[in-house]
Structure 1
């Protein structure tokens, strides 16, 4: 069923429409979805991300969470990475703020997914070339990477080729999931179309084995519903794929490893 005014990828020949709600393509069959006129609305996926609850106010400091999700936003300068993070963590948007991030920054948000608490650490990075040498060290331990571009700036989309190579060289691909995020969907001068995205996906498939792009989003930091749906869907996806750090799980593994080592030692002692 076609969803009106909710197209994540629109034909450039059509007149731009400011969408009511953010939408996305999932990993189930991205290329097929790009070819289909029917698009999936982020807010149509309420059954998918309503299990993500935001822990706020006085309750937040009292919650003891041993589980952490590390999310990294990368992309060229000016694509709106900081605006997306501030909108999600503080539900705030200031259109007049255009200052680019210097170096790196982060925000922390506590969420509950299926009644399990997660401390979500969201890293903001500078897109300017002079700061790019700071970013590779941040890839260590990252669970989700948002490859971010400006839908009105084709050059920022081309920049994703650089960022994807950098991720491929520095990330643990077995423990990291990637998402493509186009920002500024509220603007009318959209320069990136579905063929551009198909070309990028084919390039990744042909050149970067094991590089998992699980979803493609187009959103606007100007609208709260877009961004809440974006991050909630990504957090839920990471949890479902067990892409998070769990201190209790690590302690249990260490305990099992220690027990196994003791059993082996005992067996060796008794073998004489």
Structure 2
């Protein structure tokens, strides 16, 4: 049976149990009333000297005794029914728990399948985007004399992640421009960034909640966009890092509409592999 069927049955059983408990309470009240009347009439008989009064009191005692017996029978009947209904409720609740778990497992499985389908669709879109950029790279001879493969634009709050990303790119044989490594003591930050952009093939933009709030990251992004516009070739490689679409929309709707890799979806190995397929 379905979860809904078990829930309906549970509701029905709870109503029946409540009704039986109410009947049981009423009969217990009736017993108390009859016992009180019997005791009162027995006391009156003990004090009375009138034969007619005694007979009347005895008839009342007989009537209340019959009521008492009937109420006790009803209590036994209600108690038996109540015990059965409570057992039935317990059994139903066990089945409901199992059915709910089974339904949740089914939902989770369907959700996981849907999620995996979405991931696969996203990966396919990413591959198509990479193929398009790859074609542009092959047809752009100016890239052959660039000193750096990637200019990484990021917020300082994301340094720990970028450290790992940079190390992976270096291990794969790619040259990286990064402020932490390439801006020396006393150098002009603005000139160093401009110089790094001129000498880089691509700008990998690590877009996070912190990134979209910073001045220098905004300056770097504007520089990459300007260079991209002047060359007519896609230079920006967006990488979303713990950020929502609404946040990116607020920063740059144009950037938000670009297909990006996402650190929640793509591992560092995935990102390096994607870049390899881009330029090799």
Same fold (TM > 0.5): no
TM-score (norm 1): 0.40
Bigger radius of gyration, 1 or 2? 2
TM-score (norm 2): 0.39
Higher relative contact order (CA 8 A, sep 6+): 1
- Structure (1/2) with the larger strand percentage: 1
